[in-house]
Structure 1
Amino acid sequence: MKVAFAGTPDFARIALARLHAAGFEIPLVLTQPDRPAGRGMKLQPSAVKVFALEHGLPLAQPRGLRLDGKFADDAAAARAALEAAAPDVLVVAAYGLILPAWVLDLPRLGCLNIHASLLPRWRGAAPIHRAIEAGDTETGITIMQMDAGLDTGAMLLVEREPIAPTDTTATLHDRLADLGGRLIVEALELAAAGGLRPLPQPSEGLSYAHKIEKAEAAIDWRLPAVQIERRVRAFDPFPGASFTLGGESLKLWRAEPVAGNGKPGQVLRAAGDELVVATADGALGLRVLQRPGGRRVAAADFLRAHPLEAGLMLASAGGD
């Protein structure tokens, strides 16, 4: 079976590596163009591009795939490359571009998507983040037959994965990426034997995982402690939950709801290894923090370097 691949970040790289290790012929890899990143904002290749180059896989980086769009020349070149590759199937994982009809219709077996949720829950761009933020106790991987809708296609394989109370997007991402790589290999082996059985998505339980915006990372102490703690884990590693102290934006990487009452944003305890801030419902123990340009440190180390007084008011995201 000839398997073309479209993906960009590390989640996709892991799936591509599994397909390569399983011995599938990969006649073409599609990934996003290099993007500026880091302090120097130098162009950086995607994780998928790095893998493709290391393993000598044919590569294309179109800026768009719509033949009538702004990047029509790129789309036409990508179409010619895909037609020449003549894949039986296109596997898609966190690619970042919407696939127009000509792409969906080109492979003999269509396009299969590795989606990091239990569809129809958390269709959209950020299913891992949103599952943690919402307090879900489980998620999983759905291998989906892609159609023209947004994550609306028939389900081919589904496997569940529990979400631990301490999971961050980083830890859950890694487990789901491994699971997705294993399931897509299984799905293609079943497809080769004619053993896949598409199942329409349930009509109940639909939710959308909207893209994470940097503005969401600002902690609003007017929210309940439980909700803030979930956001801290959901926004690790990106964009990182943050709050302002003394004009400086600090990252909060680990927190824990604790007993305590006060005005939202009020420091209730700041001694030893305890840094506790009141919220709209309960209090939040700040466990791991980071100053700009610094490293992640435990609350005790932070307080030794930056003593705080109980009663200090931290600004909410709304500036109150």
Structure 2
Amino acid sequence: MLQLNIKDETAKLRAVVLGTAQSCGPTPKAEDAYDPKSLEHILAGTYPKEEDMILEMEAFAAVFEKHGVEVFRPETLEDCNQIFSRDIAFVIENKLIKANILPDREKEFEAILHVLEYIDPQHIIHAPEEVHVEGGDVMPWNDHIFVGTYTALDYPNWITARTNKEAVDFLRNQFPDKTVKSFELRKSKNAKENALHLDCCFQPLGKGKAILHKNGFLVEKEYQWLVDFFGRENIFEITADEMYQMFSNVFSISPEVIVSEKGFTRLNNWLRGHGFIVEEIPYAEIAKQEGLLRCSTLPLIRE
């Protein structure tokens, strides 16, 4: 059996579900794009090729292997994009919560049922239908749970709005001993301004550090709350272009070890300057779908 345990974003990782780029299907039609960045690349003819994305994901898997992490992969579904396993479920403490994602992505969850067999069924929670939530918007951080949300009245009109007010209430009920802190995210049809998930504009790191992008937040005082929480001197503030490139979507294997995209020179130098070990891998093709390293993982067990 797998004894689920996730209390934060950085403790030493023991087991993870890493998505797969196998059989991810042809380039989608423009009208089927889920986010503005994918749409941009579909229209420009630069949408990533399956073989390139497979190579990038294998590089990620190799880093996990090097660090002794047990890696599970989804069953391959024909012509289905299964790269972003963070969207389909997430773990807090010893509970795995199935995300209510876009309906046509439901089968992605079924592709990890072979992993769920190792988890006590009492620890698998299906959120009620009115709760919209994706793992990219949910970050357990010790006695806090940080949640990215969008609660304006036009919520139903935004395909990029993935986590609603009901999700925040649901998490408060599920984890009454934690402080659930929500942040309103900026939704936009412009990929350079759209914060698809909280992890597109914020990421806590080991050593008390964090990555942040001010314009990803709709409410300045919510952004300021994070600055005060971590301390301005501990924050790597990214530009709009760096948010677009997904600089905040790196992944911590431990408090010291961070997997990052090899092209993130400014960030990687800063991380090394603060004593982190940076495992650089190519991930720029996958980034074209408005998701990166954190999005591709579903951590199950950290120490």
Q: State if a TM-score over 0.5 links the two structures.
A: no
Larger relative CO (CA 8 A, sep 6+): 1 or 2? 2
Which is helix-richer, 1 or 2? 2
More strand by share: 1
Structure whose alpha-carbon radius of gyration is higher: 1
Normalising by structure 2, we get a TM-score of: 0.27
TM-score normalised over the length of structure 1: 0.26
